[in-house]
């Protein structure tokens, strides 16, 4: 039987999506359903002096209007930050209360003030316009760099400082800098982005007063985690009476990790009015109130020797976390960021300082890559500059500094188990035809275009995460994953996973793992996820963890099935369990070569006894049934790495920049389904190119989001890209039974510096993301085109 | 209110709708054809594309009242006798979809492209699909799917 691992299996889930039979939250309609519309703040920072609902209450179709006073009266808890960061002075981070409906003050445009519930959406929307909110408008604090010198947004949080985090050895790093031959410096801004999953967020609260059961249908990447947060901290409903269902979800990219105000309010409101309450975001609401991503300003310095060896790294970052601290907002710019700034390089000393600030903007949290794109952008931009300043080839400079022995204990946090960095760099150089770049540059010049080349050799920490490690550094939960593999009596298999698929193709990849381990045909395996009433508690999907952690849990559960199967087979074949081999779905007694198929064993487990010709008594002490659960806690993070090389052409008359060639060679460890991995890489790279060239979330000085529609926020579109070439090298992860490292975020992590280094190479001068035509044209105009390499 | 008579996926429909009912809402809420998705408020994302008298249109900016006597095909009407359309098959074969949300609009748009241009080159495919945003795939496999479908139609 051919192995299913590494096989390009077409996706089991595709047909429903291709024929319009997907079932997303907005597609669900319940009997007696009502519609919610949120009244949102139109000001970035204001005191609420009055919320007058008298007119709205009388509007046609209105059932009920709730405000922050109602939420406070019922003692509904605020939305939480799930990861405690300790500042360098030893004090805990400072976070404000974040009520689902604001009571006294609003802190960003889009902040929730009231919810209008009506018989129809139109009636709810119309009545919401009649809610009259009186504000005392205050000066908005918007700018990341100035936030600490501005008025205090939240009482008791001086300088708007959430935390002042440090990592590394300051003294050793200072020594490296004092003995350096050259110090390279760079100031960088990592532009603020809006995740923009194509399915807008939605939720339906559905309370059954007779059974006291509450169901929340929601667009979530992690239904169990949302239930836990809403139950334990929101106090919405007891966990055992609370079901959260995340059905088909149309993309997440991090933005659907968090339990949002709308989840809490619709769930709670359905209890109050005893009818289902449905809310579906308009796209403008998604722009305003989905968690945004990135938004750092950073000063970085690199100490190097004349031979190109890096000896030290210093980083000062201000991270904007928006108006409130969202669920993973505090870990994203700290532990997901700072340790990764070392990149693929053997850097003996580093010192990182991150100050996280509150501003009157939407909360900023994990977005595809979460901290690692920001880290990679820093190190790859400054490495590019360093190589240029000492006149070394970009590939050579990197190669000289690559870690080349594994395991490798980095000077900050991570112990890298495996990798072969020169292998993927060499392969990328070959595929991208690096040696002939100069010819291509000359060709471009003939057409009046400036051509540049940029490298990004990146690492990420995925497979999030070993519970003992993350809980020791402030995480409020363990980050294991669960799986249940359940044989049915007829020999087919139901697999329950705590991970959630919203585009990643788990139905197929996970089935491949089970099929491979248990020798069951893939069409006889069904993967079930996204419903707290079905599988065991799971932590969900983010941080490229589903395969490395969730897939490993599935593999472990399969191993337990085999273990039990051996006992049953031994009894039926009249041997000992230790004399049974399991191969391709057969349990074989070594001495006699007699065998039982796994279907026969499953049948025996469910029908233990004799019935006609069927003889399947179980051995003494073995329980009937064939179902195993595993909670897998990884022993380490996994460390995908790779080399991306980008070439751009810039029209110097207009500043328009086009990616004309893009090569990615990644090491994701063991690949289960190369077709799905390829899709993840394509999508990630395009999002990364989007950050570099097109996308930007912009607030004006008064805190109005000026990029709140697809007419103002530039999404990458089909005509923006060339064919992307991708390939792999493989060093299996040693930290999990599959050897997989994770692939979902790699493209978004690697691409921005590859593109920006190429743009800077082309125009010979610095420019910030996104490198729009206007910015590139202005940069050329201001600094003149400096003839780079050619 | 206005009464409209139209055919949706070859089935005759006659319904009273308010003057401001959008075709996307009509399909989703009145006919429960939820395969047509709404991804934005500004006619930019293309998740809602259906065929109106054989032409691709964004149903989120089409009034049902304007559709009197017309024939509409949605993603649910593309397969025939349980067999997926060549475009649907190609999307599956080339992994041209991930989360599936933009997919109905993307497929309906691509089908219309091949009606107008039987053998589009890569740039023509990319230019045509400029009105459909996908956040997952990076478009490359969608382009491959459309090319493959063109070779089979």
For B90-133, the pLDDT digits (tens) are: 999 999 999 999 999 999 999 999 999 999 999 999 999 999 99
How would you write the pLDDT of chain B (153 residues) with one tens digit per residue?
999 999 999 999 999 999 999 999 999 999 999 999 999 989 999 999 999 999 999 999 999 999 999 999 999 999 999 999 999 999 999 999 999 999 999 999 999 999 999 999 999 999 999 999 999 999 999 999 999 999 998
- Chain A residue with CA closest to B31: the answer is A27
Mean pLDDT across chain A: 96
* Residue extent(s) of CATH 3.30.365.10 domains in chain A: 421-458+637-790, 480-632
- The verdict on a CB contact (< 8 Å) between B136 and A503 is yes
Nearest to A723 among B28, B135, B140 (CB): B140
B86-152: CATH topology is DNA polymerase; domain 1 (1.10.150)
Interface of A with B in 455-474 (CB under 8 A): none
Other C-beta atoms within 10 Å of B16: how many? 10
* Residue extent(s) of CATH 1.10.150.120 domains in chain B: 86-152
Nearest to B130 among A14, A197, A718 (CB): A718
What's the pLDDT score for residue A789?
A: 37
Cα distance between residue A460 and residue A339, in whole Å: 10
- The verdict on a CB contact (< 8 Å) between A20 and B40 is no
Other C-beta atoms within 10 Å of A247: how many? 17
Q: Distance from A9 to chain B by nearest Cα, in Å?
A: 9
Other C-beta atoms within 10 Å of A774: how many? 11
Cα distance between residue A126 and residue A354, in whole Å: 45
- Chain A residue with CA closest to B102: the answer is A198
**Beta carbon pairs, A and B, within 8 Å:** 175
Which residues of chain A are under the pLDDT cut of 50? 788-790
Domain A421-458+637-790 has CATH 3.30.365.10: yes
Nearest to B103 among A18, A26, A711 (CB): A18
Whether this model's ipTM surpasses 0.90 comes out as yes
Secondary structure (DSSP) of A488-557: -TTS-EEEEESS--SSS-HHHHHHHHHHHHHT--GGGEEEE-SBTTTS-----S-TT-IIIIIIHHHHHH
A contacts of B123 (beta carbons < 8 Å): 719
Secondary structure (DSSP) of A647-698: EEEEETTT--EEEEEEEEEEE-BS-S-HHHHHHHHHHHHHHHHIIIII----
SS3 A777: helix
B contacts of A504 (beta carbons < 8 Å): 98
Asked if the C-beta of A16 comes within 8 angstroms of chain B's C-beta atoms, the answer is yes
CATH class of A480-632: alpha beta
What's the pLDDT score for residue A499?
A: 96
Asked if the C-beta of A712 comes within 8 angstroms of chain B's C-beta atoms, the answer is no
- Chain A residue with CA closest to B91: the answer is A18
* Residue extent(s) of CATH 3.10.20.30 domains in chain B: 2-77
pTM of the model: 0.97
Q: Distance from A503 to chain B by nearest Cα, in Å?
A: 3
What's the pLDDT score for residue B121?
A: 98
Strand ranges of the sheet holding B55-58, from the earlier edge strand across to the other edge: B11-17, B2-8, B71-73, B49-52, B55-58
What's the pLDDT score for residue B41?
A: 87
Q: CB of A360 within 8 A of CB of A397?
A: no
Q: CB of B78 within 8 A of CB of B19?
A: no
What's the pLDDT score for residue A2?
A: 67
Bridge partners, residue B83, by sequence = B80
CATH of region B2-77, choose from 3.10.20.30, 3.30.2310.20, 3.30.70.100, 3.40.190.10: 3.10.20.30
- Whole-angstrom CA distances from A646 to A433, A437, B137 are 11, 11, 19
What's the pLDDT score for residue A379?
A: 98
- Whole-angstrom CA distances from A623 to A324, A556, A617, A627, B77 are 51, 19, 11, 10, 50
Bridge partners, residue A151, by sequence = none
B contacts of A503 (beta carbons < 8 Å): 98-100, 136
A contacts of B99 (beta carbons < 8 Å): 17, 197-199, 248-251, 502-503
How many C-alpha atoms does A441 have within 13 Å on its Cβ side? Answer: 22
Asked if the C-beta of B91 comes within 8 angstroms of chain A's C-beta atoms, the answer is yes
Asked if the C-beta of A737 comes within 8 angstroms of chain B's C-beta atoms, the answer is no
What's the pLDDT score for residue A790?
A: 35
What's the pLDDT score for residue A617?
A: 83
- Chain A residue with CA closest to B47: the answer is A198
How many C-alpha atoms does A391 have within 13 Å on its Cβ side? Answer: 1
């Amino acid at each position: 039987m051919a192995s299913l691992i590494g096989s390009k299996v077409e996706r089991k889930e595709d047909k429903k999506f291709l024929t319009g039979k997907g079932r997303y939250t907005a597609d669900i309609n319940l009997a007696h359903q009502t519609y919610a519309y949120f009244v949102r703040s139109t000001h970035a920072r204001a005191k609420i002096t009055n919320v007058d609902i008298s007119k709205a209450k009388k509007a046609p179709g209105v059932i009920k209007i709730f405000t922050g006073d109602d939420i406070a009266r019922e003692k509904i808890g605020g939305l939480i930050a799930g990861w405690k960061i300790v500042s360098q002075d030893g004090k805990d981070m400072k976070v404000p209360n974040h009520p689902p409906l604001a009571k006294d003050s609003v802190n960003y445009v889009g902040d929730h003030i009231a919810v209008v519930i009506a018989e129809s959406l139109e009636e709810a929307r119309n009545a919401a316009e009649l809610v009259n909110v009186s504000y005392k408008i205050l000066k908005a604090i918007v700018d990341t760099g100035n936030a600490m010198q501005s008025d205090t947004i939240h009482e008791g949080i001086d300088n708007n400082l959430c935390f002042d985090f440090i990592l590394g050895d300051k003294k050793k790093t200072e020594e490296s800098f004092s003995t350096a031959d050259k110090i390279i410096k760079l100031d960088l801004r990592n532009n603020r982005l809006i995740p923009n999953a194509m399915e807008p967020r939605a939720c339906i609260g559905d309370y059954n007063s007779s059974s006291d059961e509450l169901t929340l249908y929601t667009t979530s990447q992690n239904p169990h985690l949302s239930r836990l947060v809403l139950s334990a901290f929101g106090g919405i409903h007891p966990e055992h009476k609370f079901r959260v269902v995340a059905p088909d979800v149309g993309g997440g990219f991090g933005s659907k990790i968090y339990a949002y105000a709308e989840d809490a309010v619709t769930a709670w409101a359905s209890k109050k009015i005893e009818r289902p309450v449905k809310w579906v975001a308009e796209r403008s609401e998604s722009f305003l109130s989905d968690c945004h991503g990135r938004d750092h300003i950073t000063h970085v310095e690199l100490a190097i020797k004349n031979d190109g060896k890096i000896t030290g790294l210093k980083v000062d970052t201000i991270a904007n976390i928006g108006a409130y601290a969202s669920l993973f907002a505090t870990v994203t710019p700290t532990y997901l960021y700072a340790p990764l700034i070392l990149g693929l390089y053997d850097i003996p000393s580093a010192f990182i300082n991150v100050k996280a600030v509150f501003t009157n903007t939407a909360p900023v949290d994990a977005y595809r890559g979460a901290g690692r794109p920001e880290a990679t952008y820093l190190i790859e931009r400054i490495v590019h500059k360093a190589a240029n300043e000492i006149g070394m080839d970009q590939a050579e400079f990197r190669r000289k500094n690559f870690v080349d022995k594994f395991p490798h204990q980095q000077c900050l946090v991570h112990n890298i188990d495996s990798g072969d960095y020169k292998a993927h760099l060499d392969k990328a150089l070959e595929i991208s035809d690096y040696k002939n770049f100069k010819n291509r540059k000359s060709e471009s010049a003939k057409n009046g275009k400036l051509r540049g080349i940029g490298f990004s050799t990146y690492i990420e920490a995925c497979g999030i995460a070993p519970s003992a490690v993350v809980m020791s550094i402030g995480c409020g939960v363990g980050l294991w994953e669960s799986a249940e593999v359940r044989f049915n009596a007829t020999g087919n298999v139901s697999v329950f996973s705590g991970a959630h698929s919203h585009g990643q193709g788990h139905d197929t990849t996970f089935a491949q793992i089970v099929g491979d381990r248990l020798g069951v045909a893939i069409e006889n395996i069904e993967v079930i996820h996204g419903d707290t009433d079905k599988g065991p508690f799971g932590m969900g999907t983010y941080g490229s963890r589903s395969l490395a952690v969730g897939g490993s849990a599935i593999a472990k559960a399969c191993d337990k099935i085999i273990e039990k199967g051996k006992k049953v087979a031994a009894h039926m074949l009249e041997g000992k369990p230790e004399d049974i081999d399991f191969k391709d779905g057969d349990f074989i007694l070594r001495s006699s070569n007699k065998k039982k198929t796994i279907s026969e064993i499953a049948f025996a487990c469910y029908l233990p006894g004799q019935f006609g010709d069927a003889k399947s008594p179980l051995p003494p002490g073995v329980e009937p049934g064939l179902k195993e659960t595993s909670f897998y806690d990884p022993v380490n993070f996994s460390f995908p790495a790779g080399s991306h090389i980008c070439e751009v052409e810039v029209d110097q008359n207009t500043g328009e920049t086009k990616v004309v060639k893009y090569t990615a060679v990644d090491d994701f460890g063991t690949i289960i389904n190369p077709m799905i991995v390829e899709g993840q890489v394509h999508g990630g790279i395009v999002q990364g190119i989007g950050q570099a060239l097109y996308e930007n979330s912009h607030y004006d000085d008064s805190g109005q989001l000026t990029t709140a529609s697809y007419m103002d926020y530039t999404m990458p579109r089909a005509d923006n890209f060339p064919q992307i070439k991708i390939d792999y090298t493989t060093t299996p992860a040693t930290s999990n039974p599959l050897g997989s490292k994770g692939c979902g975020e790699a493209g978004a992590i690697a691409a921005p510096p590859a593109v920006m280094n190429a743009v800077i190479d082309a125009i010979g001068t610095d420019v910030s993301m996104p490198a729009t035509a206007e910015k590139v044209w202005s940069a050329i105009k201001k600094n003149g085109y400096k003839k780079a390499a050619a | 209110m206005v009464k409209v008579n139209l055919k949706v996926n070859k089935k005759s429909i006659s319904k009273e709708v308010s003057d401001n009912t959008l075709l996307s809402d009509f399909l989703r809420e009145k006919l429960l054809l939820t395969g047509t998705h709404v991804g934005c408020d500004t006619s930019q994302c293309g998740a809602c594309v259906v065929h109106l008298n054989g032409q691709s249109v964004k149903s989120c900016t089409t009034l049902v009242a304007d559709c009197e006597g017309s024939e509409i095909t949605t993603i649910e009407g593309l397969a025939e006798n349980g067999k997926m359309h060549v475009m649907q098959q190609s999307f599956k074969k080339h992994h041209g979809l991930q989360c599936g949300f933009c997919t109905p609009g993307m497929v309906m748009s691509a089908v219309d492209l091949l009606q107008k241009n039987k053998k589009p080159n890569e740039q023509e495919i990319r230019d045509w699909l400029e009105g459909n945003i996908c956040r997952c795939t990076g478009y490359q496999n969608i382009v491959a799917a459309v090319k493959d479908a063109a070779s089979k139609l």
